[in-house]
Structure 1
Amino acid sequence: MLDSDDNYSVNSDGFHNQYPQGLENSDNVAISKTITSNIITRTSTILSYIKEDNKFAKTQVEPNPSYDPNEIIKPEGTASYSLQNYDNIGKPIVSTKRKNADLENIKSAEYNEEHDDEQDEDDDEDNETKKSNAVLEDTGEYNVFDIENRPPDKGFWAWTCAFCVLSINTFSWGANSAFGVYLNYYTTMEYFPGASMEQYVMIGGLCLGLSFIVCPITVSLCRRYYFKITMSIGTGLIFLSYWLASISKTVIQLIMFQGFLMSIGFALVAGSCFIILPTWFLKKRSITQGIASAGAGLGGIIFSRPVDQIIKSYLDNPKYANNQHEALRLGISWSLRMQSFVCGFMLVISVILIRTYRPLIDPKVKEKPFIHELYAFLVRFDILKQIPVLCVIFWNMIYGLAYTILLFSLSSYATSIGLTYQQGSNVTTVQSVAQTIGRPLMGMCSDKIGRVNSTIFFTTLITIFIFFFWIFVTTYSALLAFAFLVGFILGINWVNFGPMTADIVGGGMDLTHTISMMMFTGGFPFLIAELVGLKLKRPEMEKPFLYCQILCGVSCIISVLVLLPFREWKVKRILNARRKQFLPKLTFDDTDETTNIENETINKGQFINEKAENELNRLDKMLENNVSSYLLRMFYPIAV
């Protein structure tokens, strides 16, 4: 603004600057400086709000007793606020003496009186009791169960368990990553004369899809019996299925052993891992899940090349030069036997070492018939009616189409553009290496910037790679680059679907129900994805996989859109929790201490009240139930 009397301009900081003689009466210059100053001030204020909201979202939490983000969460205790810490959004020192006090309805005098009494009582408590009873800020990020039954997040057995799950994933679902190599030989060299492509594809679909569908049975068994018994049975089935597949005489036998029986083994040995890790970790759930899920890529590294080399060693053997079919049969048989011994041995070691932080057995479950209890697992309407749960379920289902096609089709795509079997196997290996490196790093990124944020970002990135890279790949080097880039971020669903589910329902018994429903529904896309992808293949076209590539890209786009309402829900919870933190400050008053602000002496309590009121007005605006506020929350740049 321009001061016409003294030819002074006043900037946003309250300082006076005198303009040169030629500009002292220039309205244009004054207006321009005022607009610029207002823009800078406004931008700085918005960035400050975002910074503080993110800082708040990354703090620890106190019990959150409701799934409803519209409910103002009641704090666990009564808080006292230090004026000196206000610039840091006043982290409260929380007392647990007054449980579930509604600070919004406490009058100022009553609050101060109770605060003084409680402070005296707290001074008499020893440090250990204070530490065990301390409840920190509510950010709306986690579920109440995880805070009341806080996982250790560290320790020898916690990390041993994480690496046991890594090993289990490596030698169960991870070992199945080599199926792309088998599939290439099955379909191009007619392993069983007269067998159709659909029959071979069904094997891979059963291994991945049916194992997911059967996982609710695994979880139910773990609630009735000691979980290691279930996992040991699964280990035995995996060993047996590989061995029986190696001596199969017909394609139906191959489907039953390498597909059906193996999927049951995968479900029994690896299905319970989804509910074991969240009991050990809270803040580090994504990074540990990333480490554990890296087993899918590690299995590909361990088995893809050896399987291909065993098969090729027989095909290239002069002894079988005139009988390539017999060479192929022997090569596949011995590669399957190799997997049976390696997987069986490593799974036995992992099952021996793994343990849970909390018991999985529920004594009440044994009183119910198994079928009734299993049905209850899949029809928890109180969980299914929650919008965030539905968002994660549908995201997992839709993304599963793109995941399965990209996982199993690159080797086949390599041969479709004129590459050799060995080059196709190398592509699969590179993809597996990328998954092994990428999944732990995606877990670290998810814990840093938020699980929902990272899931949306990486899925969008996969969409870009599909439409602007994969469609135009025609050379070996380009396909290797694509395999590495996509493989690096492809397993984002394995990294985050468990932790995101636990953030909604907690790490207790509700998690077992929700994970069961999610895996049951997510298994169907895995079951049919590869078959759909190969059905869309058009050998007569210049780009045989074009329709398949379009399906993958569209699936990724839709899965991102499905997650946006879930993101809005999480942001709303965080903003509600942040709003709660400012309620006590409206009743705070301190007439003894004053401060000088812009040459005016005001009471510090008054300053706090004004700041809290402004902050509450901003949060109330963002929490309004209208379209603009909904969209603002959906895309608000905060770590969730």
Structure 2
Amino acid sequence: MSPKTELRGICNTWGYVTAFGVFQTHYNQMLSESPSAISWIGSVQVFLLFSIATFSGRASDAVFFKLVWGLGALLVLVGIFIASLSSTFWQLFLSQGLCLGIGSGLMFCPMLSLIPTYFSKHRSLAIGFTAAGSSTGGLVFPAVVEQLLPRIGFPWTMRVLGLLSLSMLLPYFIFFKPRMPPRKGGPIVDWEAFKDMSYLLFSIGMFFAFWGLYVAFFYIGSFAREIIGVNQATSVSLLLIMNGTGMPARILPNIVADRYTGPLNLLIPTILVSSLILFCWISVVQASNLYAFAVFYGIFSASLQSLFPASLTSMTVDLSKIGVRTGMVLTIVSFAALTGSPIAGALVQRGGESYLYAQCFAAASMAAGGILVTMARIHKTGFVVNARK
């Protein structure tokens, strides 16, 4: 199983998440709902992608790996094609939010937990190549929507996306194969893991980091149009830039982590710098500043998302439990992903269409996450600066 094949699978889970900004922009015009309400479609999708990971992760440790992944792929395709027939908020919520989210959740954790079993060295790099799939999807899907939507309309644009997903998912289903022997016994949740204070602090820290992570991805388009005054094409271009700059940033930090620092040591400054960039977003008042924000936040947020699973893997010594322990943390951060963007949308409305409160919420959440992950690292290694973790 190559990282290239894994990239195709991640592209069809996280790709739709990182591309949701372009759907948010279109649905703001298509539906008579508030931005906060519309963001629930994307937030529920992310929530289910993460939360179902506890069950799909345990299944990936057992004998149901291919069955669970295949069911997830089927639901992803069904959700996309049903969305093409949808015209109301609830129809899109059920298809793109629930159906696509459940399918993504069934696929994601088995794919993620499969990678470390193929690599005794350079695991972080392999995970980085795989994570680049979300940036690929974040580039491909918005570009397809921007080009096809005015030409063939929303229904056929979604059907084209469905056919693209099918072409990428089919090779993965044919070629992927679990390496570890099945672990038939054991609980769905490994409660003993939370007795490890470093694991607990890491889990809570990533909750706060993910609470603020997707606010910019969901709202940069509407911020660009409403506050900066750019046109629709420019607002989509900003999302493409944010996702495009993230592609090398999902690979290069993992090379550094493998060779020099370890993933956790690199994750901490990545979270803190991401927080600083979100605070800088508050001062953006013109298009050139917003382009700079999109580039830098795209780089560091992508590095964060790539180093997160690699750091989690480094905290799990027993590879036979890597699926369930990965799934547990993903479930914890799912609640952050579920509520973060709707909270930000409500804060935009509360601020009288100003984005200040939402920007402060995202930046402060990210800063709190960085502090807690730093505490996890200190608890695990002490104050030893050069300890590779």
TM-score of the aligned structures, taking structure 2 as reference length: 0.93
Task: Name the aligned partner's letter for residue 571 of structure 1.
Answer: T
Other-structure match for 1:460: 272
Other-structure match for 2:77: 239
Task: Give CA-to-partner distance per residue, 1:285-332, whole Å, 9 cap, x none.
Answer: 211111111111111111112201212336xxxxxxxxxxxxxxxx22
Q: How many Å separate the matches in 2 of 1:540 and 1:281?
A: 49
Other-structure match for 1:449: 261
Task: Name the aligned partner's letter for residue 244 of structure 2.
Answer: V
Task: Give CA-to-partner distance per residue, 1:149-178, whole Å, 9 cap, x none.
Answer: xxxxxxxx4xx1x22221111122213322
Other-structure match for 1:175: 16
SS at match of 2:277: helix
* 2:379 corresponds to 1:569: yes
Q: 1:398 aligns with which of 182, 194, 208?
A: 208
Q: How many Å separate the matches in 1 of 2:294 and 2:113?
A: 31
Other-structure match for 2:298: 487
Other-structure match for 1:345: 167
Task: Name the aligned partner's letter for residue 302 of structure 1.
Answer: V
Q: Contact conserved, 1:178 with 1:307, CA < 8 A, in 2?
A: no
Q: Contact conserved, 1:289 with 1:494, CA < 8 A, in 2?
A: no
Bigger relative contact order, structure 1 or 2 (CA pairs below 8 A, ≥6 apart):
2
1:196: how far off?
4.1
Other-structure match for 1:101: none
Other-structure match for 2:150: 312
- Structure 2: state its 5+ residue gaps: none
Q: 1:178 to 1:334 in 2, by over 3 A?
A: farther
Task: Give CA-to-partner distance per residue, 1:67-98, whole Å, 9 cap, x none.
Answer: xxxxxxxxxxxxxxxxxxxxxxxxxxxxxxxx
1:398: how far off?
0.7
Q: 1:524 aligns with which of 313, 319, 335?
A: 335
Structure with higher Rg: it is 1
Q: 2:47 aligns with which of 209, 232, 242?
A: 209
Q: How many Å separate the matches in 1 of 2:83 and 2:271?
A: 36
Q: How many Å separate the matches in 1 of 2:178 and 2:224?
A: 43
Q: 1:204 to 1:383 in 2, by over 3 A?
A: same
Q: 1:414 aligns with which of 205, 224, 240?
A: 224
- Structure 1: state its 5+ residue gaps: 1-156, 315-330, 366-372, 573-632
Task: Name the aligned partner's letter for residue 185 of structure 1.
Answer: H
Residues 220-619 of structure 1 mapped to structure 2, 5 A cutoff: 220-313=58-151, 331-359=153-181, 361-362=182-183, 364-365=184-185, 376-378=187-189, 380-417=190-227, 418-447=229-258, 448-467=260-279, 469-538=280-349, 544-572=354-382
Task: Name the aligned partner's letter for residue 262 of structure 2.
Answer: G
Q: 1:198 to 1:564 in 2, by over 3 A?
A: closer
Q: Contact conserved, 2:49 with 2:108, CA < 8 A, in 1?
A: no
Q: How many Å separate the matches in 2 of 1:522 and 1:308?
A: 31
TM-score of the aligned structures, taking structure 1 as reference length: 0.58
Task: Name the aligned partner's letter for residue 381 of structure 1.
Answer: W
Q: How many Å separate the matches in 2 of 1:218 and 1:399?
A: 23
1:534: how far off?
0.9
Residues 161-172 of structure 1 mapped to structure 2, 5 A cutoff: 162-172=3-13
Q: Contact conserved, 1:301 with 1:433, CA < 8 A, in 2?
A: yes
Q: How many Å separate the matches in 1 of 2:334 and 2:305?
A: 13
Q: How many Å separate the matches in 2 of 1:406 and 1:269?
A: 25
Task: Name the aligned partner's letter for residue 268 of structure 1.
Answer: L
SS at match of 2:293: helix
Q: Contact conserved, 2:11 with 2:137, CA < 8 A, in 1?
A: yes
555-564 or 172-181, which moves further after superposition?
172-181
Q: Contact conserved, 2:110 with 2:323, CA < 8 A, in 1?
A: no
Q: How many Å separate the matches in 2 of 1:182 and 1:427?
A: 14
Q: Contact conserved, 1:401 with 1:552, CA < 8 A, in 2?
A: yes
Task: Give CA-to-partner distance per residue, 1:466-515, whole Å, 9 cap, x none.
Answer: 22x31121222221121111101103343223222222222522222211
Q: How many Å separate the matches in 2 of 1:246 and 1:213?
A: 25
SS at match of 1:544: coil
Task: Name the aligned partner's letter for residue 287 of structure 1.
Answer: L
1:420: how far off?
1.1
Q: Contact conserved, 1:431 with 1:483, CA < 8 A, in 2?
A: yes
Q: Contact conserved, 1:377 with 1:516, CA < 8 A, in 2?
A: no
Task: Name the aligned partner's letter for residue 534 of structure 1.
Answer: G
Q: Contact conserved, 1:232 with 1:348, CA < 8 A, in 2?
A: no
Other-structure match for 2:27: 186
Other-structure match for 1:82: none
Task: Give CA-to-partner distance per residue, 1:564-608, whole Å, 9 cap, x none.
Answer: 222223434xxxxxxxxxxxxxxxxxxxxxxxxxxxxxxxxxxxx
> Aligned residues, how many?
387
1:519: how far off?
1.0
1:271: how far off?
2.1
Q: Contact conserved, 1:435 with 1:490, CA < 8 A, in 2?
A: yes
Q: How many Å separate the matches in 2 of 1:223 and 1:522?
A: 21
Task: Name the aligned partner's letter for residue 254 of structure 1.
Answer: L
Q: 1:462 to 1:470 in 2, by over 3 A?
A: same
1:637: how far off?
4.6
What percent identity do the matched residue pairs reach? 22
Other-structure match for 1:607: none
Q: Contact conserved, 2:270 with 2:304, CA < 8 A, in 1?
A: no
SS at match of 1:565: helix
SS at match of 2:251: helix
Q: Contact conserved, 1:234 with 1:269, CA < 8 A, in 2?
A: yes
1:203: how far off?
0.7
Q: Contact conserved, 1:172 with 1:343, CA < 8 A, in 2?
A: no
SS at match of 2:357: helix
1:248: how far off?
1.5
1:407: how far off?
2.1
SS at match of 2:160: helix
Residues 52-91 of structure 1 mapped to structure 2, 5 A cutoff: none
Q: 1:192 to 1:464 in 2, by over 3 A?
A: closer
349-358 or 432-441, which moves further after superposition?
349-358
Residues 8-23 of structure 1 mapped to structure 2, 5 A cutoff: none
